[in-house]
Amino acid sequence: MPFVEEILNYKSISFVGMDKNAGKTEALNYVISRLHFFNKKIAVTSIGIDGETLDQVTATSKPKVFIYPNTLFVTSEKLYNSKQIVSAIVDLSHYATSLGRLVTAETVSYGNVMLSGPTNSAWLKDLILSFKQKCDICLIDGALSRKSFASPSITDAMILSTGAVISGNIEKITDKTKFMYDMTKLPSVSEDMLQQLSNIEYGIHAVIDKEGNSVDLQIPSLLMLDKYRDKIFSMGKTLYIPGMITDKLLELIKMRKNPEEYTLITKDFTHIFSSVVNTRWFLSKGGKILCLYQTKLLAITANPISPLGFKVDNKAMLSSLRENIDLPIYNIRDIDL
């Protein structure tokens, strides 16, 4: 039962795909089945709509979320009525999505469910907190381009899914997956700096010493960098950016001397929106990106089949990924359940 023993050390796990149809729902189903074997009480939900028979973005068939008796699950009112399972309603939230209020229910039988949970990180964080007293572990099925829900401020750990959905070229699959892995391994700040910066939510701040004392530069965000480009490094070359690190910032650094003297601090890897090319350039030149919180990536699942119909060599893909990434890496369909 690969990597599931490691999962037992955490209270909440997010499942994130490199793109749609990367195989994260299959990974979720595998973990659910193994946790059932361990007799663990679980709660499961998703970000946005998931569990559909037909993917709403790519119009391809996708696996259903299969759960067991004594499982808590959260979905919208509209989708709750489509469930293929016997369950009892535990709670009806006063929060609502476009598909209605959220229903928390506990299963009585085995079966498939359609999941549509919280639509923002604060709401999800509250939901996970409420489940910590009711179950052993909470599993969160992610959604397209919503890796922010894998933030260590929300879930304790993460499982990443990759594969032929990225490319028909194994080198490209490996390269893009390795980049995501590298971002989760960025170094953390000191404890002193964490205490000083963790409560800052907005703006751009110049960090003026090793203890993390900072000055608000009165720049609302990097989206307004063109207006403030002469001001952003006026108080030093170490910045705390609680929002997004963008290409515009790294391109501005490219135009200046000594990129190795610049340090960018962000909350965690989910706030890095700069391109692979620019991010790697900055780091290769000696620039530093530090995180307040480091994400715990437990394992990677790899799917050799693309939703476009082509397939890459499974053994070659797994071998390439394992040679470059120091983590458990599996094709879920290869595992003997």
Asked if 154 contacts 47 with a C-beta cutoff of 8 angstroms, the reply is no
Give pLDDT, residue 299.
Answer: 95
Distance CA 203, CA 200 (A): 8
pLDDT at res. 72: 95
Q: What is the mean pLDDT of the chain?
A: 89
The number of folded domains in the chain is 2
Task: Identify how many contiguous H helices and E strands the chain contains and give both numbers.
Answer: 10, 18
Residues 69 and 136 in one domain: yes
pLDDT at 148: 64
What pLDDT was estimated at residue 117? 86
Note the pLDDT of residue 198.
Answer: 93
The answer to whether 157 and 7 are in contact (CB under 8 A) is yes
Each residue's pLDDT tens digit, 3-13 = 788 899 999 99
User: Alpha-carbon dihedral of residues 92, 39, 46, 62, nearest 10 degrees?
Assistant: -130
Q: Are 117 and 221 part of one and the same domain?
A: no
CATH number at residue 50: 3.40.50.300
Residue type, 47: I
Q: What is the pLDDT of residue 97?
A: 83
5 class by beta-carbon count within 10 Å (0-12 exposed, 13-18 middle, 19+ buried): exposed
Same domain, 264 and 284: yes
Residue 205 is predicted with a pLDDT of: 97
pLDDT at 146: 54
Long-range contacts of the stretch 324-327 (C-beta < 8 A, 24+)? 324/174, 324/178, 325/177, 325/178, 325/181, 325/300, 327/181, 327/297, 327/298, 327/299, 327/300
The pLDDT score that the predictor gives to residue 184 is: 95
Of all residues in the chain, what percent carry a pLDDT higher than 70? Answer: 92
299 and 279, same domain (yes or no): no
Structural domain range at position 34: 4-184+295-334
Q: What is the pLDDT of residues 12-31, one digit of tens each?
A: 999 999 887 888 889 999 99
pLDDT value at position 240? 97
Please give the average per-residue pLDDT across 170-195, as a whole number.
96
pLDDT score of 63 more than 90: no
